[in-house]
């Protein structure tokens, strides 16, 4: 009975979306894409009356975990190296989340699909929720961790520090330029579909291995919403692909979106996971291994490459070069040196490496010590 009612409510919502015929529409957020002949479809078909109770339950679990972390003395047991890198990470990540929320009005205006507008409205609420949870997470770290310096200035540091500038450039791409380029291709099709696994699944795994079980609770709660965003992105992508006029635009934007995401996300998350961890078990995955599994195999080979059967030229060369930069050109290791060299203006500390670190890096990245070992020893 409940399912029948939800279906009826969902169908009723579509009737409330209409365009007046007595004026010519002048869209505020413009796009070069056309959607003639596209079949509108919203896969999730969710309504707010079922959405809010579900999110309330998830939020209660998050705040229960925060209470458990305080009572369980987690903040005295977590690895300091990990927490120092969180000062940088948590200063950046709330901004892309709120930028993603701001991207939804762009898509709502640009995509002529009343069904999808409903999904985009819910995604906007999701993104506000994510940003709020992450802002509160760093507040809890600041209140309870033994060394709050860095957490207390993350908002200011994000504004005027070189590292914050990099993160801001990434998030601003969600809301600048063509509405479909920014909101659908860059954000939904690449950032959320390809890179949220390393961000919201791999990062929590690493956090737990370093004694931080609070970040996994928050970020896995965040990741549980991403399937909805991926569905929104795929539905919009399929609508765009229905028109041959969009082919060149799609191919251009996929190349741009892929490379920018790789350059920023792999640089940041790769350093946080490989260089922010004290867990040096040999069977623990390196970032290169995570990337190969989550991004290269799971996204590129299973999601992106199959689009070729619809006549779309996929940027194989950029994907292969991304992997080449990570595995053969030591991209992440040079970025780690870059951050360490900036220590006079950093608002987080980078502790010296020990023999166990050197052995782990040499095991995971053969030849690493000859290139980088002496540098880190000094």
Among residues 365, 251, 273, 364, the alpha carbon closest in space to that of 318 is found at 251
pLDDT score, position 119:
87
Query: Residue 179 in contact with residue 105, Cβ under 8 Å?
Result: no
Helix (H, G, I), strand (E, B) or coil at 330: coil
- The pTM (predicted TM-score) of the whole model is 0.91
Query: Residue 269 in contact with residue 202, Cβ under 8 Å?
Result: yes
For 314, counting Cβ atoms within 10 Å of its Cβ (0-12 exposed, 13-18 middle, 19+ buried), the class is: middle
In degrees to the nearest 10, what's the CA dihedral of 24, 29, 32, 38? -70
Count CA atoms closer than 13 A to 190's CA, side-chain side: 29
Domain assignment present for residue 5? The answer is no
Among residues 8, 88, 66, the alpha carbon closest in space to that of 345 is found at 88
pLDDT score, position 5:
61
Residue range of the domain that includes 298: 41-279+287-348
For 345, counting Cβ atoms within 10 Å of its Cβ (0-12 exposed, 13-18 middle, 19+ buried), the class is: exposed
Q: 268 is written with which tokens? A: 């940041």
pLDDT score, position 1:
42
Helix (H, G, I), strand (E, B) or coil at 19: coil
Distance, CA of 233 to chain centre: 14
pLDDT score, position 228:
87
d(CA 178, CA 141): 38
Helix (H, G, I), strand (E, B) or coil at 168: helix
Q: 159 is written with which tokens? A: 């504004």
d(CA 73, CA 146): 11
Domain assignment present for residue 130? The answer is yes
Among residues 172, 168, 193, the alpha carbon closest in space to that of 182 is found at 172
Among residues 187, 172, 180, the alpha carbon closest in space to that of 236 is found at 180
Query: Residue 223 in contact with residue 200, Cβ under 8 Å?
Result: yes
State the distance between the two ends of the chain, measured CA to CA, in whole angstroms.
Answer: 68
In degrees to the nearest 10, what's the CA dihedral of 260, 127, 335, 165? 80
Residue 58's contacts (CB-CB under 8 Å, 6 or more residues apart) are 221, 224
Mark the ranges of the chain whose per-residue pLDDT is less than 50. Answer: 1
Domain assignment present for residue 18? The answer is no
Q: Which runs of consecutive H residues, i.e. helices, occur in the chain?
A: 2-15, 48-71, 80-92, 94-110, 114-144, 154-160, 162-172, 179, 193-197, 203-209, 214-241, 247-261, 267-275, 287-291, 316-327, 331-341, 355-364, 368, 374-377
Domain count, the chain: 1
CATH number at residue 73: 1.10.620.20
Domain assignment present for residue 359? The answer is no
Q: 62 is written with which tokens? A: 């998050």
Domain assignment present for residue 45? The answer is yes
pLDDT tens-digit series, residues 319-350: 999 999 999 999 999 999 999 999 999 999 99
Domain assignment present for residue 234? The answer is yes
Rg (the chain; Cα; Å): 22
Domain assignment present for residue 320? The answer is yes
Domain assignment present for residue 361? The answer is no
d(CA 286, CA 194): 18
pLDDT score, position 165:
86
């Amino acid at each position: 009975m409940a399912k029948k009612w939800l279906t009826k409510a969902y169908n009723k919502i579509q009737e409330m979306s209409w365009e007046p015929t007595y004026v010519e529409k002048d869209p505020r957020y413009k796009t070069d894409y056309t959607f003639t002949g596209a079949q509108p479809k919203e896969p999730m078909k969710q309504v707010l009356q079922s959405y809010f109770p579900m999110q309330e339950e998830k939020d209660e679990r998050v705040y229960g975990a925060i209470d458990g972390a305080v009572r369980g003395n987690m903040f005295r047991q977590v690895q300091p190296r990990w927490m120092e890198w969180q000062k940088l990470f948590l200063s950046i990540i709330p901004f892309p989340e709120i930028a993603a929320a701001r991207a939804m009005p762009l898509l709502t205006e640009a995509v002529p699909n009343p069904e999808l507008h409903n999904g985009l409205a819910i995604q906007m609420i999701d993104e506000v929720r994510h940003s709020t949870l992450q802002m509160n997470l760093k507040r809890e770290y600041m209140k309870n961790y033994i060394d709050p310096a860095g957490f207390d200035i993350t908002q200011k540091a994000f504004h005027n520090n070189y590292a914050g500038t990099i993160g801001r450039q990434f998030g601003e791409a969600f809301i600048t330029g063509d509405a479909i380029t920014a909101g659908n291709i860059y954000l939904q099709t690449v950032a959320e579909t390809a890179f949220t696994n390393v961000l919201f699944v791999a990062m929590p795994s690493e956090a737990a291995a370093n004694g931080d079980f609070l970040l996994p609770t928050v970020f896995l709660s965040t990741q549980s919403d991403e399937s909805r965003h991926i569905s929104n992105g795929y539905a919009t992508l399929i609508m765009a692909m229905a028109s041959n006029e969009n082919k060149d635009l799609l191919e251009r934007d996929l190349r741009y979106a892929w490379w920018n995401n790789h350059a920023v996300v792999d640089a940041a998350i790769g350093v946080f996971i490989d260089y922010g961890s004290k867990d040096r078990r040999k069977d623990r995955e390196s970032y290169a291994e995570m990337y190969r599994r989550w991004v290269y195999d799971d996204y590129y080979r299973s999601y992106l490459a199959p689009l070729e059967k619809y006549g779309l030229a996929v940027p194989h060369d950029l994907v292969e070069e991304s992997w080449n930069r990570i595995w053969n050109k030591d991209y992440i290791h040079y970025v780690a040196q870059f951050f360490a060299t900036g220590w006079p203006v950093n608002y987080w500390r980078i502790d010296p490496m020990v023999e166990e670190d050197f052995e782990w890096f040499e095991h995971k990245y053969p030849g690493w010590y000859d290139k980088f070992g002496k540098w880190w020893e000094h």
